[in-house]
Amino acid sequence: MKTIDTYTVPIMADLVAQGKTPEYLFWVGCAGAFDARYKKVTVAFAKLLLHAGVDFAVLGAEETCNGDPARRAGNEMLFQMQALRVIETLNMYNVKKIITCCPHCFNIFKNEYPDLGGHYEVTHHSVFLNELLEKGILKADKNILKDKSIVYHDPCYLGRGNDIYEPAREVNKTVTGKILEMPRSRSKALCCGAGGAQMFKEAEPGFREVNVERTEEALQTGADIVATSCPFCMTMITDGLKYKNKEDEVKNLDIAELLWQSLSKS
């Protein structure tokens, strides 16, 4: 077990040793496990799951990269090696349902793992949180962030890749009534600049960085908060805010962080 404040996060191996099989596996992902900023998103989402009484567990030290960056970078052999190792682990624990905060992990589990024999019901955390809110299991208090306006940036692998646009927006609407949109949004949204393994390499020649242009679009809305639902997008937007010297005025928060801050404890 791992403890987050007063919450205890269950580990898959521990539960199985007790003869229990949780309904969901929370796939933390590389960013959620190792990136200092995105660890805060992992904590916020885990707290929401625990507060909602969701039957879940994490793999802990047994979780390894699912191979998405390797495939995007063109290393198919490495991808298949990593993917088959993950499938072996998931099947060993009889995993049927996966929740993840990362659209890249979501996409590869949902659309590409079946080709290698990995068949799972995969849900992105924006969809899962929206369902918990719709069922009344979680409730947000709009008074907490009532003076804050939010603009949402669509992740490519969630939006255009899997046609999921509205759940994150619905989550944001429960947090504040001040919802804004960038001119380019939903299917026409501009990429943050990190997709296709661009996150892990130097930028190609050009006259400006993609993340700076996208950040400028967000800033032009006048929003107090740029909401994201992807670790790559969070890194790029946060870097964009720093580039524009706006990181003290405008915050980049994941929808899970926004909901946890606004959660009605009553």
Split into its structural domains, the chain has a count of 2
Q: What is the rounded distance in angstroms from the CA atom of residue 10 to the CA atom of residue 16?
A: 10
Same domain, 204 and 118: no
Contact 105, 68 (CB under 8 A): yes
pLDDT digits (tens, 9 = 90+) for 11-33: 999 999 999 999 999 999 999 99
Query: Is residue 256 located within the same domain as residue 149?
Result: yes
Cβ(129)–Cβ(173) under 8 Å? no
Question: HSE on the CB side for 130, CA within 13 Å?
Answer: 16
d(CA 192, CA 24): 30
Does 12 share its domain with 99? yes
pTM here is: 0.94
99 and 181 assigned to the same domain: no
Q: Which two tokens stand for residue 129?
A: 């949180």
Which residue type occupies 243?
A: Y
Report yes or no on 135 lying in a domain.
no
Query: Is residue 231 in some structural domain?
Result: yes
Residue range 224-233, pLDDT digits in tens: 999 999 999 9
| 201, 248: one domain | yes
d(CA 262, CA 245) in angstroms, rounded, equals 27
Q: What is the pLDDT along the chain (266 residues), one digit of tens a residue?
A: 445 556 789 999 999 999 999 999 999 999 999 999 999 999 999 999 999 999 999 999 999 999 999 999 899 999 999 999 999 999 999 999 999 999 999 999 999 999 999 999 999 999 999 999 999 999 999 999 999 999 999 999 999 999 999 999 999 999 999 999 999 999 999 999 887 667 766 777 777 889 999 999 999 999 999 999 999 999 999 999 999 999 999 999 999 999 999 997 65
Q: Are residues 126 and 155 in the same domain?
A: no
3-class secondary structure for 29-47? Answer: HHHHHHCHHHHHHHHHHHH
Alpha-carbon distances, residue 160 vs 40, 152, 176, 201, 260 (angstroms) = 26, 15, 26, 23, 27
Tell me if residue 218 falls in helix, strand or coil.
Answer: helix
Residues 170 and 222 in one domain: yes
DSSP type of residue 66: -
Do 106 and 151 sit in the same domain of this protein?
no
Among 106, 130, 154, the domain-final residue is: 130
User: 220 lies in which domain range?
Assistant: 140-262
Residue (of 26, 91, 24, 92) closest to 55 by Cα position: 24
What CATH number is given to the structural domain containing 9? 3.40.50.1860
Q: What is the CATH number of the domain that holds 227?
A: 3.40.50
DSSP state letters, 107-141? HIIIIIGGGGT---EEEEHHHHHHHHHHTTSS-B-
**Are 77 and 156 contained in the same domain?**
no
Same domain membership, residue 224 and residue 172: yes
Query: Are 182 and 110 found together in one domain?
Result: no
| Residue that terminates a domain, selected from 100, 130, 160 | 130
Asked if 13 and 56 sit in the same domain, the reply is yes
Q: Which of 110, 130, 150 is at the close of a domain? A: 130
What tokens does 43 get? 């904590």
In a domain, 58, yes or no: yes
